[in-house]
A and B are shown apart, each in its own frame.
Chain A
Amino acid sequence: MNKNNIKQIVLDIIAEIAPDEDLSGVKSDIRLREQLDLDSMDFLDIVMELRKQHGIDVPEAEYRQLESLDSSANYLLPKFESGATA
């Protein structure tokens, strides 16, 4: 698992919860909200899908760590790695 895998995982989730959004040009270092029409309900869904699909818990206070693909990758990588070795 590396950061690019994680970015792809997050993008796949966004494609699932917001099928009407065009994800082809999404930039990693810019906040997702600035590039896509996502609101707090959509971010909840990203968190819930991470939990359902990958068994990863994101506490509510840390939802904002998912604001961009880069920040998501940085934040989630240790969680994915500890999950893989557990």
Chain B
Amino acid sequence: MPKTSTASNHYDVIIIGAGLAGLSSAVRLGMFGLKVLILEKHFVVGGLNSFYAKGGRKFDVGLHALTNFPSESSGKSSPLLKLCRQLRIPLDSLNLLEQSSSRISFGEIDLCFNNDFEFFLSEVEKVFPKEKDRFQKLLSKMVEFPAYSVDAKEISTREILGQELGDSLLAEMLLCPTCYYGSARANDIDFPTFIMLFDAIFKQGLARPDRGIRALLDPLTDKLKELGVERRMNSPVKSIQTDQIQVSEVILENGEAFTSDHFISTCGGLETEKLLCLPDTPRSFDLGRFSIIESISVFDGHPRDFGWDETVIFFNKSDKFFYDQPKQLVDLNSGVICLPDNYGPIDSSEKKEAKLRVTHPANFKLWSELSEQKYQKEKCFWEDVILQNGLKYLPLGESKSELFKNRTHLTDTFTPCTIKRFTSHENGALYGSPTKKRDGSTKFSNLFIAGTDQGYVGIVGAMLGGIAVANNQILRNL
């Protein structure tokens, strides 16, 4: 049996952060009898993929889509099946609802996709007939590339698409959804991440648990309770104490100290290095800077009442996609629309109200420098602008603007500052640092990072990353 720690403030593993990576690694470690403590600075679990209530309604923060849906064409290869097995959460218990169909919209050009990869291939062929052979060649190259291995080369996807494809518009249209669903790099995405996201979005597919993110968070927290894993909320970590080789303890803002054999930090690579309080040591993680603003409307009826039957729309005004921190508060030129009520079969939709979510790139620095009063004023202003702008990308959306306004009874917006509050990422960086460490190792032999800065993106990636660190760095070495 594992030697479990008995001293009351000493643990086998301390995990910083109760996001999906932290919770998943805690389940794995607790499952095999280790004494685990989770420290979370927020009062709710989930990190970026959390939830909140406003006006008596529940909102998910992060979840637009659960990618990697094990669709018929992708079979048993989906990592989602792996993680359900590892966490012993039956896939059926998530009650996954599949997307209707989604779209990448660039000016007048649309590429549609659903959870049948063949349909996407036929769309590409229809819209870009001259690219057929080159696109097939690109797909083969992607299959051959070792995207999923821990030492995959982080080469530029823009460069590769530029070499492989003749029509730059197709390259831009492929970059848009993949960047939005997981690139920490400015105006590009590294090739292994591009492949993982392409597989996750197009080859597998998009779905949503019927209860939203809580369908994942609840079974995780229930399991942790069952396994006797301790969890302290409202417990921000102030510092991580080290000698030259090992981490010895973590100290909370309130002065409490905890020792442990192993430490897993999920608050980000750079953020973890800051907690180490080693001012003379050069940082090994670069600062990420891509952040977002999202406005949500709750309206009466169903999106189909307005003729809107798609689930996710990635849009870009021109034929050139720009993915970076904007120079102003918000970049309206591109974004993502999600109609979460369009997941699931049509006939089950006797809903009284529905949501529209519109997301745009936003500048953390500019938002964070606003005074409280100005922040509220700008938030209000942009909320309206974003929702109006978003309607342009929905079928006949602009003409239905008045009707939509009249039917909307609640709106809310979260900004890069909100992202920072939920994730603790510097700069409110949605996908963390552009530097990634896939195996989670650090220069300290008993400290590991897990989650966003491992580079396995999305909800599924965060969970698999946490599982991989628990498995490969701790369980295998017991």
**B82 and A39: CB pair below 8 A?**
yes
Query: Does A55 lie within 8 Å of B1, measured CB to CB?
Result: yes
User: Which residue of A42, A48, A55 is within 8 Å of B475 (Cβ)?
Assistant: A48
Q: In whole Å, how far is B268's beta carbon from the nearest beta carbon of chain A?
A: 25
Taking the complex as formed, is A25 at the interface, i.e. its CB lies under 8 A from any CB of chain B?
A: no
- Contact with A44, one of B2, B33, B471 (Cβ below 8 angstroms): B471
With the chains together, A42 CA to B82 CA distance in Å? 9
Is residue A37 within 8 Å, beta carbon to beta carbon, of the partner chain? yes
Residue of A nearest to B468 (CB): A41
* Chain A residue at minimal CB-CB distance from B85: A18
Residues of A within 8 A of B90 (CB): 19
Cα A60 to Cα B473 with chains together (Å):
12
Contact sample, A vs B, 23 pairs, CB 8 Å cutoff: A17-B85, A17-B88, A18-B85, A19-B90, A20-B85, A37-B76, A39-B82, A41-B82, A41-B85, A41-B86, A41-B467, A41-B471, A42-B85, A44-B471, A44-B475, A51-B1, A51-B32, A51-B478, A52-B1, A52-B32, A52-B33, A60-B476, A60-B477
> In the complex, A17 Cα to B32 Cα: how many Å?
13
Closest to B81 in A: A20
A residues at B contact (CB < 8 Å): 17-20, 37, 39, 41-42, 44-45, 48, 51-52, 55, 60
Contact with A along B57-93 (1 / 0, CB 8 A): 0000000000000000000100000100110101000
Q: Which residue of A lies closest to B1 (CB)?
A: A55
A55 to B2: give the CA distance in the assembly, Å.
Answer: 9
Please report the C-alpha to C-alpha distance between residue A63 and residue B104 in the assembled complex, in whole angstroms: 46
- Is there an interface contact between B86 and A48, defined as CB atoms closer than 8 Å? no
Q: In the complex, A47 Cα to B467 Cα: how many Å?
A: 16
Which chain B positions have C-beta within 8 A of A39? 82
> Could you tell me if A44 and B476 are in contact, using CB atoms closer than 8 angstroms?
yes
> Is the CB–CB distance between B82 and A51 below 8 Å?
no
Distance in angstroms from B461 CB to nearest chain A CB is 15
Chain B residue numbers with a CB within 8 Å of A41 are 82, 85-86, 467, 471
| Residues of A close to B85: CB separation below 8 A | 17-18, 20, 41-42
When C-beta atoms are compared, the residue in chain B nearest to A21 turns out to be: B85
Q: Chain A: which residue is nearest B472 at the CB level?
A: A44
Chain B, range 421-478, C-beta contacts under 8 Å to A: 467, 471, 475-478
CA distance A27 to B86 in the complex (A): 24
Residues in chain A near residue B88, CB distance under 8 A: 17
Q: Which residue of the partner chain B has the closest CB to A18? A: B85
CB distance from A19 to the nearest CB of B (A): 7
Which residues from B are CB-within-8-Å of A19?
Answer: 90
